[in-house]
Structure 1
C-alpha cells in the first residue's frame, strides 16, 4: 500500500496510511504494547481516534499491522538470511542483522518483538500471544533451513536442526535485550562473533529417535 492515502469520514484532511503505520510501529518498538495508550498512538500518528479505528481497527489490530510492517522492514534480515547458501551463512546473517537492527542510529534500541514480549500485564495478552506465534514461526523456518543443510551435508548428520534454531533464537533475543539495556553495536557484535566462533556449537545432540536427519 506504499503511497496510499485515506480520507477519514467527518474529517476534511487526508493522511498517509503508510506514514501513520510507520509511526505506530516506532511507538510500539520504543515503548512496548502496554506502555502505549490510544492517545499516545494517535498523537504520534497525527490522526484522531475515529481515524485510527476507521483505518486500522482497534489497538490490537494496529499492533498486528505494525508487527507485519516490522517483519517486512527492519526485521526482514531473518527472512533474507534463509537464502544464504550455508548454515553458517544463515547464522551469521541472522546474528549480524540482529545487531544492526537493534542498534539503529536514531531509532529505538532493541527489537519490537522482544520489547512487547517482556510485558506481563493482562492487557498486553493479545500482543503477547501474537508474538509467541511470531517467534515460533521464525524458529520453525530456521529449523527447516537447517534440516535442509543436514540433508545436503552442510551440517553434520548428528546435528539437531531444532536445537540449533532454538540456540540461534536465544542468542538473537539476548542481543535485543542487551541492546535495549544500552550495550553498543560493537559490544553486541563481539557477542555475535563469539557465537559464530564455533559453528555448529559444541555439544549439539543428535535428534531423538524417529526424527529424520
Structure 2
C-alpha cells in the first residue's frame, strides 16, 4: 500500500511555478526547486519525476489557474466586453508584477518550445485555446452586431492572439502603462462596427 504524501502537493506546485516562472526551465536547477519547495531532491523525484515532468505539472497548474480561469470569466460577458476584460486583466497583472515575469506560457514558448517538440505541442495547444476564445467571442459579437464584420472572425482572432503575445513580451522589458495601453487600444478599436458593416 502506497504511503500518503506528507506535503501539500498544490503548495509545492505553486512554489515550483514561481521558481520556473522567475528563472525559466533551463536556468532552474533541482537545487533551486529544493530550496523553493522545501522538499528533498529524492522527494521531488518520487512525487513528480524529473525536472521536465515537474515543469509540465507546474505549467499545467499555471494554465488552469491563470489562463483557463480568465477565459471562463470573460466568456460569461457580452462578446466585445469579454475581449476587453481579457486584455484589461492581462494588463493589470503585468503592471502589478514587480518582477516582470510576463506569462509563463509565453516564456516557455521562447525558452523550451524551440528545441523540444513535445513542449512545443503543449504550448501550441494553450495558444490554440486562447485563440478559440477570441474566435468564439468575435463570432458572437459579429452575430449580435457589436463587432465588425469587415474582416473574418478568424482573421480578427489571429490578430488578437498576436497582440496578446506582443503585449506579454513587451511587459517583461518595458512595463509602461501608456505603452501597453497603446498596444491594446487599436486592437479593440479594430473590433468596432463601421458603417460598412450595415451593408454586409
Specify if TM > 0.5.
Answer: yes
Whole-Å separation in 2 of the counterparts to 1:121 and 1:148? 32
* Aligned-pair CA distance for 1:148: 2.8
Equivalent position of 2:92 in the other structure: 100
Structure 1 residue 28 displacement after superposition: 1.8
The gaps in structure 1 that reach 5 residues or longer are: 1-5, 8-13, 203-213
1:153-192 alignment to 2 at 5 Å? 153-192=145-184
Pair 31,103 (structure 1): closer, same or farther in 2 beyond 3 Å: farther
5 Å-filtered alignment, 1:1-213, equals 7=5, 14-75=6-67, 76-86=69-79, 88-119=80-111, 124-200=116-192
**1:84 touches 1:90 (CA, 8 Å); kept in 2?**
yes
Per-residue CA shift, 1:52-87, capped at 9, x if unaligned? 12222333332232223222333332332222213x
Contact 1:26 1:108 in 2 (8 A): no
TM-score relative to the length of structure 1: 0.75
Instruction: Please give the alpha-carbon distance, in whole angstroms, between the structure 2 residues aligned to 1:123 and 1:40.
Output: 23
* C-alpha spacing 1:62/1:176, structure 2 compared with 1 (3 Å): same
State the SS of the aligned residue for 1:110. coil
In 2 relative to 1, CA 51–191 (structure 1 residues): closer, same or farther, beyond 3 Å?
A: same
Deviation, structure 1 residue 139: 0.7
CA RMSD of aligned residues (A): 2.6
- Residue deviations 1:118-160, cap 9 Å, x none? 1268764443331111111221232123223333343344541
The answer as to whether partners of 2:113 and 2:119 remain within 8 angstroms in 1 is: no
3-state SS in 1 of match to 2:111 = coil
- 2:197 corresponds in structure 1 to none
Give 5+ residue unaligned stretches, structure 2.
195-200
Aligned-partner SS, 1:168: helix
TM-score (norm 2): 0.80
Report if the CA contact (8 A) 2:16-2:36 is conserved.
Answer: yes
